[in-house]
Chain A
Amino acid sequence: MGASTSTRFGARSSRVLLFLGLAIVAFLSIFPLVWMVNFSLLKSGDFFGSNVLKWPDPFQWVNYKNAFTLGHVHAYLLNSVIVAVVVITVTVIVSLMLSYVIARMDWKWNVYLSGLVMVCLIVPIYSTLLPNFFIFNKIHLIDNYFSLILPNIAFLIPLSVFIFIGFLQTTPRAIEEAAVIDGLSLIGVVFRIIMPISKPVIASVGVLAFLNTWNEFIMAITYISSDNYKTLPFSLIQFTGQYASNYGAQFAVMTLIALPLVVLYMLFTDRITNSLTAGAVKG
């Protein structure tokens, strides 16, 4: 009797501890968001005061208005969406096909091909900026949607292939064999058999591509110069002078940029975590 109460008590207290721990983690994760939204409603002069959070008095909705009018959020948002959609689509299709070639086909250059793709994982973005600028300049791709789309895809393919291969190695070949016996072509196998069964991986690769493209800035400032092709992060620097900055409007822009990301995370959180371990365990 005594022993059982003490274990129950122990279980309960460890539960409380767990709950407390999780509550702290949750608070730490959510606080920056609250902080960001709070700051987006303050006057620039209110920043860096003694209080961490400050009640906006009055609410500076003008920051959001500025974000749209002066920060061109709507125009740059459209550009970000265009770039992201193309990057995601191409990355998914190309990586799927490439990883099928590497994981399923037997030919002598296979090892080298997969080696080449993996080597690309370690190329730092910074080392490519200047050479890419020269190449794009030569072929008139500078200041163009393609000057963002192409390098973004290039940097995403190795990681995506890595994820796809991991998944493909765990799927049985029996279905494909059956499909080939039934007369399905190679392209057919890839798009009618493999693509549907790797939906969770496609989702995660898509999310990964989206996050990368959405937050990408260093390539954008190097390759883009006209307003027509600027992406969302440019809205942020729209509010910096040489010295002072309009912090309120910057936080409003940050809130607007972060919003799609937060929504996306909420919708796909299972997929994101699942896919990163997809293929890790056979089953």
Chain B
Amino acid sequence: MQYADEFRDPAKARTLVEEISKLAALLAKARGRPLQVMEVCGGHTHTIFRYGLKAMLPEALEFVHGPGCPVCVLPMGRVDDCVALACNPKIIFTTFGDAMRVPGSKGSLLQAKAEGADVRMVYSPLDALKLARENPTREVVFFALGFETTMPSTALTVLQARREGIRNFSLFCNHITIIPTIKAILDSPELTLDGFLGPGHVSMVIGNRPYDFIAERYHRPIVVAGFEPLDILQSLWMLLKQMKEGRCEVENQYKRIVPEAGNAQALAAVAEVFELREFFEWRGLGSIDHSGVRMRAAFADYDAERKFGVPGLSIADPKSCQCGEVLKGVIKPHQCKVFGTSCTPERPLGALMVSSEGACAAYYRFGRIAIKPVETETVAS
């Protein structure tokens, strides 16, 4: 498959793994502990597990799976708000597939659908707008979520709706922004991270300059990485090389996609439609200042929160969940008290067990053998 297989060459991978192993051994020895690298983006977590990268890399190098799965960091209260909107008989509630299983305090959107709510899976906000065009007597709400990666497409869809004069379309806006979140992790007193793999898709929109503070103020190297397995290995090699040479810089491995200054057109659309919220709640991480966006007043007619009102409750995560500690890299997914026992992909307690990009689900689905041999009986469940 052109443009994909070039980035999956096992021979090149072996060479890179050898180089990484040498560098990691040196650096870990000097630090007296394994190196910890956080991949911020859930797409990277997925690649690491899908291609079995963890098994190829040395123990001197540990991955910390960051907060970059937008589905995983949705707080329970927001899911309850979604369910409340979806239960309004006037509304066709549209969402991306993997958001349908996220547990709220009263169940997921999938359960709401089974009980009669009109919830429909779409592949893009434009599909939701098409539904609005086709159903002029209904209200179509699109559950807008994701980082800067998906923000431009929802902004452009709202602008398109306004241009066409479509009035029965709105967003339930849960977009979040990555920089304050990385900052919150760097400010954590428990921080043990040695470097970052930067989120490639987000960077395609915002560029590389917003990460400068990571290198300058927090003295951690960061390499913006692509999503193919060779991208990840090359980025790791670049990161370790920086560490060996005592540099702390923002480097761009994903140059074929990520422009240094980002995408001006996408940023302009985002700025026109959205503004920062003072604070936004994250599952497991609590409230983070300026980490979410809402729609500007000029787009109130397209804002489901203003148009219909939502309960807006804040609901605490189940006490037994240690999602926050996993997200910050303090513990590994399998070290959580409820991992694989009361929290499984079948019955997720925490959101990290829901999406295939979630660290816990990825550990559970792809990586359990590497953690410990599993009894036959538990595998069958």
A-B interaction: no
**Chain B residues within CB distance 8 Å of chain A:** none
